[in-house]
Structure 1
């Protein structure tokens, strides 16, 4: 039986000026994703500026030369990219082919070990069918390129919704699990953003492992992928290094689900290092919530739901008990002195 070494990954935001690849502690990770590249919305090719090209080269060279080295992938898309761009590209065999060949070329030219697609999100059943086709053809192209160049095949992964289907959306759709299981190396399930600024009426655990009141939870989402036929060794759990914030209606009613009136500090989002700073400066009360496996803090009317070392460790143990391949963080530079990233290294043990 093939062994599947554990994945301990993180996305590196390329716009982070204070956090160059040289600052990454590679003892804590196995794979680092460069976030993000976008193809042209006209040609569907990657048309890279000189500054992006040198950034890519520096990223792979630096991380491959570190001790220990880590594998590098570039991620295509991201939360702020236009889902219609991917829908158009994926809808036609010609444009899929151009996109795939250009992605492989970028990976080889700049020394990457693989590619990741972060299409957020396919909007309807047709998009999902086209995505399945894209993955299938991408895998064939990767194998063909590896054979003709006598090199190891490039990795192919995708960042996906926390659940296999969008059962809470106006348009129901489901990921092409069969194509994913056959074509990808693994999926990065984005197990966060369950609650946020789009609903300011109540606080929420935005990355709850369990939700006693709904299926919008990490345990439900990850299990749905496995039930849909994606093997456990191909599922990687996402962990947020940031919190969501609200302004409480009444400072004395301050649990998860407490009435709120607006977004809180940081316009609704604080990265983990900022959460720590806020808690310290405001003498915030910090509460670990065992029911949802999450942490929250409050000071006056400000409320923050996030994951700390304890909730992260519990989640990683859950992923391990479920037999998943590992975990990834969004995003690398949001941690505070590697506090949370270290938890994973300590608590995730690969089965022999």
Structure 2
């Protein structure tokens, strides 16, 4: 069984290893309980982890720095990410011998570099068979984690996973459902990715990319968390995702600028993405009009034809209150380097007292 106590709230944050100008030493750990190193990728033939020397130094620095902070935080490394995804994990999970290679190597890396746990970020299982194989993977992973802890007389490694906003994948590919029974039994918690509902893949209209509510569709955080609860995963294992970035569009007509307004292209930022810190700078530089959308519980900024949808403290306040009322375990941010002077991280932490 998963080892985690359900009493402690989880206040997580992912640190992207490519954020070189924002090293782990910059993280204010007073607002977090768990920080994830993103990402490690196994060898795509053996499915073992080949850690290069420079990466090894970075991992040592990550865990030692964050464990020495006051207060210290738990550290996990996350495997995969949005850029690595579908076929790669599917091949590994379909083979018992490859699953064993992957599991044994992941545990070895965690212990060698002094991590407290491991996080799986498979975006996303593509077929019902992938979901079935994911269940086998989690069953075997938990077994090996327990066995290793008993053999070494150390606390069991934490096991978590970043998952789709809904327990069922219904927007692309064949309809498929996560293995809720295996997840409930084997993982300490899941990080539910309650964002990226809208973005550069649809430039016809603006969207609240992390909408708490959507009266017209099931693409919302309230629906997603509800579907996970309905699937049978305990509330004590559900962690709500919050984005520290926004998504941008170019408006068709500046006069029509609400959520869902006609658009013609992405807006400012790389592929229509800006961190929260960059959005604050944009708002200042362009004297942007900032609006709160009551229906979706989200913020947006407008300057000319530029439109940015994101979360700020007003929307995060409502989301944290919603999550607490729902009775789930906590929240996490993607990603910690995106905040502005810890404005959102601090507000969320204050609202969710341990």
Pairs within 5 Å for 1:1-352 = 3-266=6-269, 267-350=271-354
SS at match of 2:109: helix
Q: CA deviation at 1:317?
A: 1.0
Q: CA deviation at 1:4?
A: 2.0
Number of equivalent positions: 349
SS at match of 2:45: coil
Question: Within 2, Cα distance between the matches of 1:66 and 1:253?
Answer: 48
Residues 213 and 296, structure 2, Cα contact 8 Å, conserved in 1: yes
Residues 210 and 221, structure 2, Cα contact 8 Å, conserved in 1: yes
Tell me the C-alpha RMSD between the 2 structures: 0.8
Question: Within 2, Cα distance between the matches of 1:212 and 1:247?
Answer: 24
Structure 1, residues 212-240: CA drift from partner, whole Å, max 9, x if none? Answer: 11110000000100100000000000000
SS at match of 1:265: coil
User: TM-score, with normalisation over the residues of structure 1?
Assistant: 0.98
SS at match of 2:198: coil
Q: CA deviation at 1:171?
A: 1.1
Structure 1, residues 187-229: CA drift from partner, whole Å, max 9, x if none? Answer: 0000000000110000000000000111100000001001000
Question: Within 2, Cα distance between the matches of 1:171 and 1:76?
Answer: 24
Structure 1, residues 11-54: CA drift from partner, whole Å, max 9, x if none? Answer: 00111111111111010000000000000001100001000001
Residues 85 and 124, structure 2, Cα contact 8 Å, conserved in 1: no
Q: 1:196 to 1:11 in 2, by over 3 A?
A: same
Segment of structure 1 superposing worse, 308-317 or 27-36: 308-317
Question: Within 2, Cα distance between the matches of 1:36 and 1:298?
Answer: 34
Gaps of 5+ in 2: none
Q: CA deviation at 1:349?
A: 2.8
Structure 1, residues 48-77: CA drift from partner, whole Å, max 9, x if none? Answer: 100000100110000001111000000000
Please list every run of at least 4 consecutive aligned residues from structure 1 whose deviation after the TM superposition is greater than 3 angstroms. Answer: none
SS at match of 1:262: strand
User: TM-score, with normalisation over the residues of structure 2?
Assistant: 0.98
SS at match of 2:79: strand
